[in-house]
Amino acid sequence: MNFLEQRIMKDGVVKEGNVLKVDSFLNHQMDVSLMNEIGKEFHRRFADRPVTKVLTIEASGIAIAYAVANEFNVPMVFAKKSKSINLEGEMYVAEVESFTHKNRNNVIVSKKFLNADDHVLIVDDFLANGCALQGLISITESAGATVEGLGIAIEKGFQIGGRVIRNLGYRLESLAIVDAMDHTTGNITFRKQ
């Protein structure tokens, strides 16, 4: 087991409805040392890529993206969620549907902060159905920039997102892939990678 899988085993809580609570260390209270370790690990995995920018989506992706960008010594940009629709012009916009929250958001990035010369590493804390990642890919490609890869802390391997993104031909690295979890026993099964 790697460091993140070990931490999930120690402090993650399996909830009904296939929800994994990691709010004591990843997405509410944040363990800063763990974030730094995640940053170093993604830097190691994508060291062969000419990354110029790290892109994520608010809110919980920001800490991971910061740690990764710090390792690459490049800027980090986070897409903002917005209810407004009249954003065309100075913003790249993608519509993201959340299956978990059953709502839709426009996610936006200012055209000032992504351009055709950029080589983008997209990161986020969770990958479930992949809507957020697809929105970030769409924004990157609207800018004419190159998606160098995608780094995810926790992928829920039993939801479709990972398969969809890999089938599209992107390089997706997930530090922990949960293939099954059981809220009655608390058991979590990780995919061997």
Chain positions contacting ligand G4P, by CB under 6 A = 19-22, 27, 58-61, 98-101, 125-132, 156, 161
For residue 2, what are the contacts with CB-CB under 8 A and spacing of at least 6?
Answer: 41, 175, 176
State the residue for tokens 């026993």.
185
Q: How far is the CB of 154 from ligand G4P (least distance, A)?
A: 8
Strand-pairing partners, residue 95, are 106
Closer of 39 and 130 to ligand G4P (Cβ): 130
Closer of 8 and 52 to ligand G4P (Cβ): 8
Closer of 22 and 52 to ligand G4P (Cβ): 22
Closer of 98 and 146 to ligand G4P (Cβ): 98
**Contact predicate 48/72, CB 8 Å:** no
Work out the burial of residue 86: count CB atoms within 10 Å of its CB; fewer than 13 is exposed, 13-18 middle, 19 or more buried: exposed
Q: How far is the CB of 116 from ligand G4P (least distance, A)?
A: 26
**Closest alpha carbon to 19 in 163, 193, 186, 148:** 186
State the residue for tokens 């809580």.
13
Q: How far is the CB of 127 from ligand G4P (least distance, A)?
A: 5
Q: How far is the CB of 72 from ligand G4P (least distance, A)?
A: 21
Q: How far is the CB of 102 from ligand G4P (least distance, A)?
A: 9
Work out the burial of residue 1: count CB atoms within 10 Å of its CB; fewer than 13 is exposed, 13-18 middle, 19 or more buried: exposed
Closer of 113 and 158 to ligand G4P (Cβ): 158
